[in-house]
Amino acid sequence: MPSETLDPIPASVAQTLAGLFAERIKRSPDRIAYRYFARNSGWTDLTWQAMGEQAGRWQASLANEGLAKGDRVAILLRNGPEWVLFDQAALALGLVTVPLYADDRPENAAYILRDAEVEVLLIQDAGRWRRLAESLGDSPWPRRVIILEPSAAAHELASQDPRLRLADAWLMQGAYAFVPGAFDPASLATIVYTSGTTGRPKGVMLSHRNILSNLEATLTLFRIDSEDIFLSFLPLSHTLERTAGYYLPMMAGASVAYARSITQLAEDLQTIRPTVLIAVPRVFERLHRRIADQLATRPAPLRWLFALTVASGWREFLYRQGRTPWHPLLRLAPLLRRLFGKPILNRLGGRLRVAVSGGAPLPPQIARIFIGLGLPILQGYGLTETSPVVSVNPLDDNVPESVGKPLPGIELRIGEDSELLVRGPNVMQGYWRNPEATARVLDAEGWLHTGDQARLAGHLYIIGRIKDILVLSNGEKVAPADLEMAIAEDPWFDQVMVLGEGQAYLSAMLVLNRERWPEIARTHDLDPDDPASLQALELHKEVLKRIRERLSGFPGYAKIRQVLLSLEPWSIENGLLTPTMKIRRNQIIERHAAAIAALYRK
């Protein structure tokens, strides 16, 4: 790979997302664009030139479907080069891409396909199509289905349904140039359906200009260059990954490697050794929990030295940020980091210069531990409706308790009830065919009402969610997310939801860690295989004690008095998590209505 760095492509030159791709091919044809794992050949590299040649075939094949500018096409794939190829082929033709989560429930995907009236769907394999087809029923959408992975089942399905084609047979043979169409940057590029924690998901309409402006602004605070390599494992259907892990590296000329799966992520980190990692807090929380579990088995002197490593590294971080004076402990920081921090960071490949956490709040103490060990973690904030980045912490002005500084060109304002309002070129055009929902969040002056409560003090701080505020019967208002985040720091609890709307006190539903449960049960003389053990009074007393310790810094009215324990995780499959891993509060409450009611009869 050439060693010279490349300047980012200006949005004014790219004009559209397909124009961005074409310009990147022109500027750096021989540089590595993507790495992926092929079953027969292992890790494989694709240059920008090779991507352009393949994209030409995809574009020509899609053009054969006779679609009109503005028609919708959908992608239901795992992350990989084909996701990029189909997306770029569609954008070059003026089509609108609708991303779908590969692991979402079939009925959710079916709803989106019908609502967006999707003409063409690219889907991973025969099994996924079979499950989706059952939910679609006799819907006319999609009119064409392309199955990426060939198999006997795929061939059989294609022989029975004229809509179906296998990708190998559907793709045009020969050489075709990739030609980005000349479209208005304000034209619609994609419809991204929100996760829908309550009710049906809404289709967020984002233009080429929305996304390109967000890329350009992000690069002013978050430096990326052509020597960086990203490891992509968040789904590309997630707007954070699509913007920051796909289009952003393209604008900057960086490379992207696609992780094989979450279960193989640890191994892929060792192989790829990325320099940039974009993740949700859950990834850092799990790594922190593994570190804590291992430390618990080590001798006290080692635990003390680890704590000293974090403390000295944190102090060094604050000193370099200009927020604390020099201290003799700074002399120890490099040595301790080499002895204790480096082995941990080597698990992440050993080359990470920055990690970005987004999508949900990252507990500040977890950020502090990793920063103390030598990994700069930058927290940011955004919404699908804002393409998505609103703010991010710069490396040289990183306040982990905050979600960073607003991007250039984006205006922020605090409205009624401390609601954060956002205005700028990255704000969506509206919700697809839903003017009522659009009017509820986009006012006449162009301000997007986020529903998040915030304060501005140089940096942006998110302090709550208006819709998620619990109002107790005495009028006290409680932000459950803050309590849930604090409780979830306890390794006993994998998932937490605080309850109490209209009630005299707060309760909590807790999903216990399955691996720890047998030991917890035996400690309390309980049978781990007996469901009744979860109702044991002594166990509940111990759980409440642990919760009290976690909530000691909260106001007195934020006290948990009753708990409901479970070993069944809330998941996408059982409908209790969104594809972006947010809990569906209403669905959980509805499913456990009787048990919740019993909590308040005690």
- Residues 413-438, mean pLDDT to the nearest whole number: 96
Under the banding of pLDDT at 50, 70 and 90, the label for residue 459 is very high
CATH number 3.40.1160.10 given to 14-31+48-183:
no
Q: How many of the other CB atoms lie within 10 Å of CB of 141?
A: 18
Residue 1 has pLDDT above 50, yes or no: no
pLDDT of the residue at 572:
87
Residue 198 has pLDDT above 80, yes or no: no
What stretch(es) of the chain map to CATH 3.30.300.30? 469-599
Residue 197 has pLDDT above 60, yes or no: no
Residue 509 has pLDDT above 60, yes or no: yes
CA dihedral 161, 166, 169, 171 (to 10 degrees): 120
Strand partners, 381: 391
- Residues 562-587, mean pLDDT to the nearest whole number: 89
Under the banding of pLDDT at 50, 70 and 90, the label for residue 2 is very low
Q: What does the alpha-carbon distance between residue 253 and residue 19 come to, in Å, rounded to a whole number?
A: 14
pLDDT of the residue at 5:
64
The residue among 351, 458, 455, 315 whose CA lies nearest residue 397 is 458
Measured in residues, the chain has a length of 602
In this predicted model, which residue has the larger pLDDT, 433 or 103? Answer: 433
Reported pTM? 0.86
Q: Which tens digit of pLDDT belongs to each residue from 74-84? A: 999 999 999 99
- Percent of the chain surpassing pLDDT 90: 81
The residue among 466, 572, 585 whose CA lies nearest residue 199 is 585
Q: What does the alpha-carbon distance between residue 87 and residue 103 come to, in Å, rounded to a whole number?
A: 19
Q: What does the alpha-carbon distance between residue 447 and residue 413 come to, in Å, rounded to a whole number?
A: 9
What stretch(es) of the chain map to CATH 3.40.50.980? 14-31+48-183
Q: Residue 349's Cα: distance from chain center in Å?
A: 21
CATH number 3.30.300.30 given to 469-599:
yes
Under the banding of pLDDT at 50, 70 and 90, the label for residue 50 is very high
Q: Which tens digit of pLDDT belongs to each residue from 118-161? A: 999 999 999 999 999 999 999 999 999 999 999 999 999 999 99
Strand arrangement, sheet containing 255-258 = 42-47, 32-38, 255-258, 229-232, 276-279, 354-357, 377-382, 389-392, 405-406
Per-position DSSP letters for 336-368, written without gaps between them: HIIIIIHHHHHTTTS--SEEEE-SSPPPHHHHH
Cβ proximity of 558 and 483 under 8 Å:
yes
Cβ proximity of 514 and 528 under 8 Å:
no
Q: Which tens digit of pLDDT belongs to each residue from 325-358? A: 999 999 999 999 999 999 999 999 999 999 999 8
Residue 364 has pLDDT above 90, yes or no: no
Q: How many of the other CB atoms lie within 10 Å of CB of 481?
A: 18
